[in-house]
Amino acid sequence: MNITVYLGSYEGNDPALRAAVERLGAWIGNSGNVLVYGGSSCGLMGVLAKSVVDCGGKAIGVEPAFFVEQELQYDDLTELIVTEDMSERKAKMVELGDAFVALPGGTGTLEEISEIMSKTSLGHLDAPCILYDHNGFYSGLKQLLGKMIEAGLSTEIRQSRICFADSIDEVIEALEAATP
């Protein structure tokens, strides 16, 4: 299964988050699944790719040409797909993914997982959408989704494929449940 992961290009200030990213990467690498991610060597993105590759797993990076020109790509990838721009990058990552995971990250991570949340809720994408709510990182988003339902602007059925996980173990369990 190709697991598309969205996460920060910065490492953040919580060592426990880095450990969780390393654990997810090791699981992907050891499980026979394939990582699809933004291709960067920076921050949590680099930590994840290194963890996958160090365990003998496959990592596919999808990176726009302007990042490659800045030499931000992780060099030990199984495959690097270079796109023209960010829009093409996002589309390629969706095309390649069988499951989608958001770990803590910045506005880019939020934009990318928001698209996946929308596609799954509209039925345009039949894939798990899992947000790792590390120390409540995504709790505000979870509350907002609940308010959408309360206000009659969304439904529980529409949001049923959006899953919030409190631990990396829960992320892994959700991915294992989705494995064909």
Q: Is the pLDDT of residue 175 over 90?
A: yes
Give the pairing of strands 129-132 and 99-102. parallel
Q: Count other Cβ atoms within 10 Å, centred on residue 109.
A: 21
∠ CA 137-142-144, rounded to 5°: 115
The domain total for the chain is 1
73-76 CB contacts, 8 Å cutoff, 24+ apart? 73/39, 73/40, 73/41, 74/39, 74/40, 74/41, 74/45, 74/46, 74/49, 74/50, 75/41, 76/49, 76/50
pLDDT at 106: 96
pTM of the model: 0.95
pLDDT at 130: 98
pLDDT in tens, 121-142: 999 999 999 999 999 999 999 9
Q: Residue 50: give its domain's CATH number.
A: 3.40.50.450
Task: Name the residue range of residue 52's domain.
Answer: 2-178
pLDDT at 159: 95
Averaged pLDDT for residues 88-113: 96
Given pLDDT bands bounded at 50, 70 and 90, which one contains residue 67? Answer: confident
pLDDT at 36: 98
Q: Is the pLDDT of residue 66 over 90?
A: no
Q: Is the pLDDT of residue 169 over 80?
A: yes
pLDDT in tens, 6-27: 999 999 999 999 999 999 999 9
Q: Is the pLDDT of residue 71 over 80?
A: no
pLDDT at 103: 98
